[in-house]
Structures are given as C-alpha cells and as structure tokens.
Chain A
Amino acid sequence: MSVADLTLVQVARAVRSGELSPVEVVEAVLERTSRVQPRLQPFLWLDPERALDQARQRAQEPLRGPLHGVPVTLKDLIAERGAPFTCGSALRAGEVAAEDAEVTRRLREAGAVFVGRAHLHEFAFGVSNDNPHFGRARNPWDPERSPGGSSGGSAVAVATGCAFGSVGTDTGGSVRIPAALCGVVGVKPTYGLVPRHGVFPLAPSLDHPGPLARTVEDAAVLLEVLAGSPGRYTSGLGSGVRGVRLGVPRGRWWEVVHPLVAARFQEAVQVLQREGARCTPVDFPWEAASAVATALLLVEAAAVHAEGLRTRPEGYGMDVRERLLVGLCLPAERYVQALRVRRVLASRCRQLWDQVDLLASPTVPVPAPRWGEQTTEVAGAPHDTRSLLTRFTNPFNALGLPAATVPCGFAEGLPVGLQLVGPPWQEARVLAAAAAYERARGPLASPEV
C-alpha cells in the first residue's frame, strides 16, 4: 500500500511521530498525481517543486498543528497566495492570488501543504465539471462519466490519493454531489460557520465552503481547522446513534430516485437502525426549498457577473452564460418572495427538529451521469439531469443547514452517497451519525489508480 492510500488522520499521525517526513508524504502524493492527472485531470494547475518546497519547510519547522505536512488541495475558487486563481474561467486566465483566503490561511497555519489547484465547473456554476476552457475532470470509477461538480477536481483528487483532503464550495450541492458521485465524504456546514473571505462568490447567500475527505474522521479534522474549533467535531465521533431520531423522506419528491440508489439508501437506513437509530417518516418541503435555492442562486450569480455579461459575454461557456442570462431576467418580486418563503421554511424546520434529530436522504438520486447527458430517465420519465443532481442537496443550501454525504455502496458499479442533515450548528451530531454508519458499513472498494 502506498503512503498516498493512508487516511489524512493516519498520515498526520505518522508525520507527528516522525515515522514519515513531510517530504516523503508529498513525494508519494506527487507520484500518484503523475499517474492520475493525465487520465482524470483533477488539477487545473500543478507545481510539484512548489509542493516539495513547502514539505521541506514543514520538515524543518516545529509542529504547526493537526495538518502538519499533510498534502491537501483547494478548489480553484479559493485564493491561495502566489497560485493561479482562475475560478475555472478563461476570463481570469493569468490571475494569481495576492493573498490567502481565510480558509487557506487556517489550513496553512495548521501545517497543510498545498498540492495543485483543483478543477471545477466554470465559476462553480454547474454540477457536471464539463469545463469548456480547461476540459473535464473525470470520474475515477468511469472516466466516461462526470465526477459531479462543481468541486469535481477536489473529489477526484481525494478519491484517487492525489490529496488527503480538499476544500470545495457548496452553493447547491457542489461539495456533496461530487463527493457522492466519486465515493468520498463531503460536508456542507451551517451557513456562516466557515468564512468565505477570499472565496470567489457564486451566490453569496448560499455559498458554503466545506471539506472533502476519504473518511468522516478526516473530514471532521479538516472542518475543525476550517471553522477554527479544535476538537469540536472529532471528540464525539464515537458516540454512535443509539436513540437518535432519524427522519426519512416520504412523498412525491422522494419518488424520483433510481431504484438501485433507493435500495442502497434503504440498506443504509437499516444499518443505522441496527445501530440504534429510530426512524420516522417525515414530510419536508423539498419542492419549495429547492425553488428558493433556484431563485436566489440565479439572481445572485447574475448580479456577481452582470459586468462580465455586459463587457465580455463571449468569455463565458454556453451553459454558464445561459444560466446567467436567465438570472438577469427573473422578476425581482420572485427574489423577494424567495427570501420570504425561506424564512417560513426555516420556521417549519424549527418544528421539524422537535420531532427528529437528523434527516436522511440519498445525496444524489441517480448514479454519475454520462458526459453530455441532458436528461436522465427515472421512474419511467425523463428528468433534467442538472436538476436531478441538486434535487436533494440545494434545499439545504436555501436553509443553511449542516449536511454531510458518506458513501453507502454502489449502483451499476458507481458510488452512491447517504446524506445526513442536522439542525443549525449541529455539525457534531451529523458527523457522529455519519461516523457510526461508516463503522457499521465497513470498508468499501476504492477506484483503481
């Protein structure tokens, strides 16, 4: 087994104990990257010498923190001092970040080493990672399929051992969707928990930076660093789910799920029940919450890019440009209505949390789509693929609730994710349940690299 296949926690421990040097760790990751990058392209930019320089520096320093000497990667939407900052757009070709984003600063302070800049959907405005300017980051389970997006490169890098963790951004599911489709863990924290300073905005009221990693414990360590809360999420990971009230969805929204994804989800719920969780069917306002997310996303993204659309519309890829144009044309009263509805739904959620401790759903209702797939047939009817991918994720962006995805098996040989959602600021509860499920589930296969 290569060092690149260790978990983040294992490699951090090995560096702390002196069993591995930061340089050995980075060399192992760079060796892995040299094989993965030509086939799957998780990175938009790689500078092995720069990563080695950081590793040499860590090797000579006293221990900085929990990530000392651990290679991680950032979605190229998050500023990293001295590195390209393209946001996946040709319009920003040649841009170099003058300073670190706050999350980058926190990771650096914790000792992390940055390896490359992770691929993404153009301006994070899409879920396929089919980028007209920089090509595709490909799914490690089947390169003819999308890894999901918009943090697709992050998920591919983590799944293939090119990094021990990554930070992406999640505006409608952009951490959880690629994590689920590539078979890794992804966390979208409560809105506002992780700072957005230095993160290029997509839709500011929905943007959530969050970690991707190969295990729940790894993701919890990263989240502690990102949130500046040492010990807050790892300390309760062993607490299990005995007596936890788990709300499972019912109703029309839930019916549009691929049968094999539904089967994996039901099995995962049974695992949690065996571990002591009590399951209750609940009604959740999926459709209205998703509509809120859609209205806020389109209008806010159009506002961010209004000047670019006026001056250099040809600089955008067609799919992104079309969505931005739609956002510019939405009636203002729909935006205001969405803000109002969001507050009503948040109030209903407060009542929901009196009935259950967590919600569970599939993260994505279908396995990874093929490149170019515009519609996907589910339950005997064609559905817009892009809307399907965000179906179970964007409602929680609208409501700002913490949510995590953890791999729960395979459908047609492709990973399936279990999503767990908690009340505001209850990341510890979400991660403890995810960890309990992960332990009870046992190991899953990794993609061939």
Chain B
Amino acid sequence: MTDRDLRAWMEAALEARGVRVQPADLPVDQLRAVLRRLEALDAVDASAEEPAPLCWDQ
C-alpha cells in the first residue's frame, strides 16, 4: 500500500469512528510498521482454530 493509500485509509477509518485528527498528526509510519510486524501472524496456520479467548485449565 502506498503512503497515500494508507493515509486515506486511516482518515476514513478514524472519520467513521467519529475521531477527528489533523492530517499532519496521522501516525501513518507507525501504522505501517505495525502492519508489517503483524505479518508474522501469517506464518502460523490457524485457520482451523476458533477465535476464542485463551483459558488455561487449572
């Protein structure tokens, strides 16, 4: 995703939630860095799992 696309996406997501942020204050680089870090999730095949809370048995 280009910087422009990412910025537009952030603006739209925040506006939809009623949050107003000056364009210069959008943490676009941080969002990009986080999205990159979350790509590590793709390395784990979890498609068969339920998205349920973790609960260890005592």
Q: Say whether, besides A325-B14, A325-B21, A384-B33, A191 and B56 are in contact (CB < 8 Å).
A: yes
A292 to chain B, nearest CB (A): 7
- B23 contacts partner chain A, Cβ-Cβ < 8 Å: no
- Please tell me which one of the listed residues B21, B38, B53, B55 contacts residue A313 in the complex, with CB atoms under 8 A apart: B21
Contact in complex: A294, B37 (CB < 8 Å): yes
What's the Cα separation between A298 and B18 when bound, in Å? 18
Q: Say whether, besides A326-B34, A330-B34, A337 and B41 are in contact (CB < 8 Å).
A: yes
Residues on the B chain within 8 Å of A399, using CB: 54
Contact in complex: B40, A325 (CB < 8 Å): no
A337 to chain B, nearest CB (A): 5
- B17 contacts partner chain A, Cβ-Cβ < 8 Å: yes
Contact in complex: B14, A328 (CB < 8 Å): yes
SS class of chain B's interface: helix, strand, loop or mixed?
A: loop
- Please tell me which one of the listed residues B10, B30, B40, B56 contacts residue A288 in the complex, with CB atoms under 8 A apart: B40
- B24 contacts partner chain A, Cβ-Cβ < 8 Å: no
Contact in complex: B37, A345 (CB < 8 Å): no
Residues on the B chain within 8 Å of A346, using CB: 54, 56
Residues on the A chain within 8 Å of B30, using CB: 322-323, 326
What's the Cα separation between A287 and B43 when bound, in Å? 10
Residues on the A chain within 8 Å of B34, using CB: 294, 298, 326, 330
Residues on the B chain within 8 Å of A329, using CB: 9-10, 13-14, 31
Contact in complex: B17, A344 (CB < 8 Å): no
What's the Cα separation between A423 and B43 when bound, in Å? 24
Contact in complex: A338, B41 (CB < 8 Å): yes
A290 to chain B, nearest CB (A): 7
B23 to chain A, nearest CB (A): 12
Residues on the A chain within 8 Å of B21, using CB: 313, 325
A359 to chain B, nearest CB (A): 16
What's the Cα separation between A399 and B56 when bound, in Å? 9
Count, chain A residues at interface, CB 8 A:
42
- A250 contacts partner chain B, Cβ-Cβ < 8 Å: no
Residues on the A chain within 8 Å of B5, using CB: none
- B45 contacts partner chain A, Cβ-Cβ < 8 Å: yes
- Please tell me which one of the listed residues A190, A294, A313, A336 contacts residue B19 in the complex, with CB atoms under 8 A apart: A313
Interface string of A296-321 (1 = CB under 8 A from B): 00100000001001100100000000
Interface-centre pick from A306, A328, A384 (highest chain B CB count, 10 A): A328
Q: Can you name the residue of chain A whose Cβ is closest to the Cβ of B57?
A: A424
- A291 contacts partner chain B, Cβ-Cβ < 8 Å: yes
Q: Can you name the residue of chain A whose Cβ is closest to the Cβ of B6?
A: A329
What's the Cα separation between A144 and B40 when bound, in Å? 35
- B3 contacts partner chain A, Cβ-Cβ < 8 Å: no
Contact in complex: B18, A310 (CB < 8 Å): yes
- B4 contacts partner chain A, Cβ-Cβ < 8 Å: no
- A295 contacts partner chain B, Cβ-Cβ < 8 Å: yes
What's the Cα separation between A140 and B30 when bound, in Å? 31
Q: Say whether, besides A288-B40, A291-B41, A338-B41, A325 and B54 are in contact (CB < 8 Å).
A: no
Which A residues have a C-beta under 8 Å from some C-beta of B?
Answer: 190-192, 205, 285, 287-288, 290-292, 294-295, 298, 306, 309-310, 313, 322-323, 325-326, 328-330, 334, 336-346, 384, 387, 399-400, 424-425
Which B residues have a C-beta under 8 Å from some C-beta of A?
Answer: 9-10, 13-14, 17-21, 26-27, 30-31, 33-35, 37-41, 43-47, 49-58
Chain A to chain B contacts (Cβ below 8 Å), 15 pairs: A190-B56, A287-B43, A288-B40, A288-B41, A294-B37, A309-B19, A310-B18, A326-B34, A328-B13, A328-B19, A330-B35, A339-B53, A343-B54, A344-B44, A344-B49
Given contacts A287-B43, A323-B30, A325-B26, 12 further A-B contacts (CB under 8 A): A291-B40, A291-B41, A292-B41, A313-B19, A322-B30, A323-B27, A328-B17, A329-B10, A329-B14, A330-B38, A344-B49, A346-B56
In order of increasing CB-CB distance, the 7 nearest A-B pairs are A424-B56, A340-B46, A339-B51, A322-B27, A291-B40, A340-B49, A329-B13
